[in-house]
Each structure stands twice: as C-alpha cells, then as structure tokens.
Amino acid sequence: MTDFLIVVDMQRDFITGALGTAEAQAITPAVAARIARAKTEGTQVIFTLDTHEEDYMTTQEGRRLPVPHCIRGTEGWALDPQIAGQCARGMLSFEKPTFGSQRLSAYLSEQALLRGSAFGAGIAIELCGVCTDICVVSNALLIKAALPEAELSVNPALCAGVTPQSHEAAIKTMASCQIDIL
C-alpha cells in the first residue's frame, strides 16, 4: 500500500497553458484516476503547486525560462479541472517557488518520525505529475535525500516531461538514484 501520493504541479499552465504539452494532456485522465484510487485506498494525496509572483521575469528562473507561468491567482496557476475535481476540500498542498519543495520533504520526514521511522523505513511514497525532467525529479531526489529508506516510486505513465526524450532521461536518473520505476 502507498502511504503518500505526491501529485506534482498538475496545473493548467503545464497541461494546456503557457508550458502545456500533448504528453501532459495525455496523462491527465490517468493521474485523475490514480488520485481517485489513492483516496479509496486511504492513501494521503498531497499536491505541489508551482507558484510564482508577478515579478517572475526578474527571478533567476524567469531569466532562464522567460515564459510567465503559474502566476499566483491566475487561471494557469489553478489545478487542471480533471485533477481539481478529484481534490477534496482540505487536501494538503505545498506551494513552491521553484522546482522542488523542501517543505514537502520536511513534512514527509515529520510524518515518518511520527511513525517511528527516522529514515523512512516502512513508508511508501509514489510521485506522479509534470514535468518529469524538472519538478518530478527534483522532488523525488529531495525526498530520497530526506528519507533514504522510504519505498519511493515513480510511474512513468503518470508523468510527462518537457519532451519525451527529457522524460526518459529523468526516469533513468531517478532509477540510478534507487527510486523504483513502476
């Protein structure tokens, strides 16, 4: 059983908006189905939200990726409607100003400690979402560093990268870092 399902950045701008891709659109129904299944299994579903402010273009990321996206409060910042429909009120989410969320890693570490596991032994965490090669891999590696004994997995069929090639490269990177590929 999976204890935590981390749904990374399934926001409109990454699916149909400013940085959307056909691959992200293609995985959205399957991610929504996985969320629904997780909820019936009693798995805690946690969302990350790429969150930028109006000054995005002045940030380091904005200078390197000059495409305004996921600006707080805009339509593109919101979860995709297929995903939001699965998201019950009170569902835990972490806003992140860049690729990975240290707050998410800290939360998962706290949860492991509450279960008596300092390094995550006996804890199962699955990640899905976008972009495989940026935010999914960043969060996976932060979680792996924080909880090296957790059973950490990623399902490539529930992830989409910037390109199919970069998606595959990220999957290989995660596998080489002892993250299970489903």
Q: Where are the beta strands (DSSP E) in the chain?
A: 4-8, 44-50, 92-96, 124-130, 151-160, 180-181
The tally of domains found in the chain comes to: 1
Q: Report, as an integer, the average pLDDT of 79-97.
A: 83
Q: Which position has the token pair 């992830």?
A: 159
Which pLDDT value is given to residue 118? 86
Q: Which domain holds residue 30?
A: 4-181
Q: What are phi and psi of 162, to 5 degrees?
A: -60, -40
Name the residue among 87, 112, 79, 98 with its Cα closest to residue 11. 79
CATH number at residue 108: 3.40.50.850
Which pLDDT value is given to residue 163? 96
| C-alpha distance from residue 54 to each of 26, 57, 71, 89, 99 (Å) | 29, 8, 6, 27, 18
For residue 78, pLDDT beyond 60: yes
Which pLDDT value is given to residue 88? 56
Q: How far apart are the first and last CA of the chain?
A: 14
For residue 86, pLDDT beyond 90: no
pLDDT band per the 50, 70, 90 thresholds, residue 91: confident
For residue 70, pLDDT beyond 60: yes
**pLDDT tens digits, one per residue of 41-67:** 999 999 999 999 999 999 999 999 999
**pLDDT tens digits, one per residue of 145-156:** 999 999 999 999
Which pLDDT value is given to residue 93? 93
Q: What is the dihedral of CA 145, 146, 150, 151, to 10 degrees?
A: -50
Spatial distance between the Cα atoms of 171 and 17, rounded to a whole number of angstroms: 24
pLDDT band per the 50, 70, 90 thresholds, residue 85: confident
Which pLDDT value is given to residue 89? 53
Spatial distance between the Cα atoms of 164 and 141, rounded to a whole number of angstroms: 20
For residue 141, pLDDT beyond 60: yes
Q: What is the mean pLDDT of the chain?
A: 95
**pLDDT tens digits, one per residue of 7-36:** 999 999 999 999 999 999 999 999 999 999
Which pLDDT value is given to residue 87? 65
